[in-house]
Amino acid sequence: MSLDLKFENQLKNATPERLLKIIQSDQDGRLADNGAIVCNTGEFTGRSPKDRFIVKDNFTKDQVDWGKVNQAFDPENFEKLYMHMKDHLQSKRVYIRNAYAGASKKYQISVRFYNTLAWHDLFCMNMFIDIPKDESLNGSPDLEVICVPDFKAIPDIHGTNSANFSILNMSKNILLIGGTGYSGEIKKGVFSYLNYKLPVEHNVLPMHCSSNEGKNGDCALFFGLSGTGKTTLSSQKKRALIGDDEHGWSDDGIFNFEGGCYAKTAGLSKDKEPEIFEAIGSRAILENTPFFNKSNIVDYDDTSITENTRVSYPLTNLSNVKIPSVSNESPNHIFFLTCDASGVLPPISKLNYGQAMYHFLSGYTAKIAGTELGITEPKAAFSACFGEPFLPLSPIKYAQMLGDRIKQAGAKVWLVNTGWIKGAYGKGERISLTYTRALISNALTGSLEMVASATGPYFGTEIPLECPGVPSEILLPEKCWDDQEAYRKSAEKLVSAFHENFNRYESSCDEEIIAGQPTLQADFVS
């Protein structure tokens, strides 16, 4: 079904130069000294998971994993909401953009975006893949997205939970977004659509991960939720970035879903994250990032609006990026990034197959302030496959697909703690980014497999005992806590939380995966 919407006041596939002029004339954004445009998302500065829905009809009723994550939406209410949004748009200037999602020609989809904010149109231009000049999108696109921040739903009439909403209709290939100006809802809505279509129709594994490639074509994946370091750790001078957030793994290799990056900017500096810092220029959109007083210089340390300050920019703003964003090889190394607020997990450890599948299904991390409504400090959470909020199918389906591909590729899997060491949040300290980079670099070169290792307590993973550039005393968590009894209590609490969470998957897992779970009885390294 194609909407084929037309409006009296519409602007189709506008250039970035024209959009920047409109954004400033409409006072929706202000130009920074580095060339980026700074915009405010309004009331919502992060996603709203409780307001995300999928239309439940004959096409989806037996395939979608219905529940708190995938809330069912009535088809009739969807039609009613769509008609009201369509009427609302008649009085608006509408920005229409055609783009691709998916760098692989074999699996990419065409998307048509309808936005009412010029900076949202520029965001879509940044985050998705331009249609080449020698191609044209004739006829119906595969997916159509309507985003109208000032349209507020009425729950009693439209069947939503509140005034804001994000609703996917898989049968009609339509995504409706309203009541929120947070642009992340657009990209995550498209991601959710691909998470349904690619496994069901093409046997392609969609993944919430970043990816990069070495000079010899060796590929690495970095799984993790928002705030765990996917963008930062995959952006390296010695390895070409494939993408920073969303990828597919097919029989042909790895491909990026997007044409840009959407990075967190809180505390950003040229010294810590030079690749991201230098990419913020032409076409970049900074969200909710204040200026220094009486200037047009961005203050990345100012999180007074939200901790979830963001920047979107096209991949071409980066100096070391692979275009097209495709690797023809399966990954050699896979990193599960977790921001452990308990300070229990080691900075890095190697997982066997059972442990890898257990941790993938568990998806443990701490939600970082600002990424979701109500999150003001790190909070322990389990998100299956490191991306449960975007998974229309059962997590078991994605885990089975990943497990098959890991075995076929012979990929090595690592668990990396980008969170706290020497104690829990509030008492310990967050691990240095320099140390994490060194650990990952040495894992990629094989150096960590050449040093002595130990089996860690509780989780039973293989922990390297030394790494160039990293103090050995921080590699074993139980050794660097001042209070050993406090460590034991924190570890046992975390293990119990893992067990409680995994109860919902245990009946669907084989003995190898179940054997990968942590135990309450721990043997400490002497």
* Integer angstrom CA distances of residue 490 from 207, 399, 483: 31, 28, 11
The closest of 419, 444, 468, 192 to 334, measured between CA atoms, is 444
Those residues whose C-beta lies under 8 Å from the C-beta of residue 512, and which sit 6 or more positions away, are: 353, 354, 357
Q: Are 241 and 228 in contact (CB under 8 A)?
A: no
Is there a catalytic annotation at residue 226?
Answer: yes
The rounded distance, in Å, linking the Cα atoms of 463 and 344 is: 13
Is there a catalytic annotation at residue 245?
Answer: yes
Q: Which residue, chain included where needed, has tokens 């690797």?
A: 327
* Integer angstrom CA distances of residue 82 from 43, 78, 110, 146, 283: 23, 6, 21, 9, 31
The rounded distance, in Å, linking the Cα atoms of 370 and 376 is: 6
Is there a catalytic annotation at residue 208?
Answer: yes
Is there a catalytic annotation at residue 230?
Answer: yes
Of residues 208, 247, 322, 405, which has the active-site annotation? Answer: 208
For the record, the structure tokens of 191 come out as 């991601």
**Residues 92-108, buried b or exposed e (16+ Cβ, 10 A)?**
bbbbbbbbbbbbbeebb
The closest of 47, 17, 22, 407 to 227, measured between CA atoms, is 47
Q: Are 99 and 129 in contact (CB under 8 A)?
A: yes
Of residues 56, 230, 322, 422, which has the active-site annotation? Answer: 230
Q: Which residue, chain included where needed, has tokens 């920005």?
A: 95
Of residues 104, 166, 226, 228, which has the active-site annotation? Answer: 226
Of residues 310, 333, 405, 422, which has the active-site annotation? Answer: 310
Of residues 110, 166, 211, 231, which has the active-site annotation? Answer: 231
Of residues 52, 112, 158, 188, which has the active-site annotation? Answer: 188
Q: What DSSP letter does each residue of 458-518 carry, written as one string? A: TT--EEES-BTTB-GGGSSHHHH-S-HHHHHHHHHHHHHHHHHHHTTTGGGS-HHHHTTS-
Of residues 47, 112, 172, 187, which has the active-site annotation? Answer: 47
How far is Cα of residue 507 from the mean position of the Cα atoms in its chain?
28
The closest of 259, 115, 87 to 177, measured between CA atoms, is 115
For the record, the structure tokens of 234 come out as 């995959």
Maximal CA-CA distance, the chain: 75
Angle at the Cα of 360 (from 184 to 168), degrees rounded to 5? 35
The rounded distance, in Å, linking the Cα atoms of 215 and 230 is: 20
Of residues 245, 342, 367, 453, which has the active-site annotation? Answer: 245
Q: Which residues are part of the catalytic machinery?
A: 47, 188, 208, 226, 230-231, 245, 310
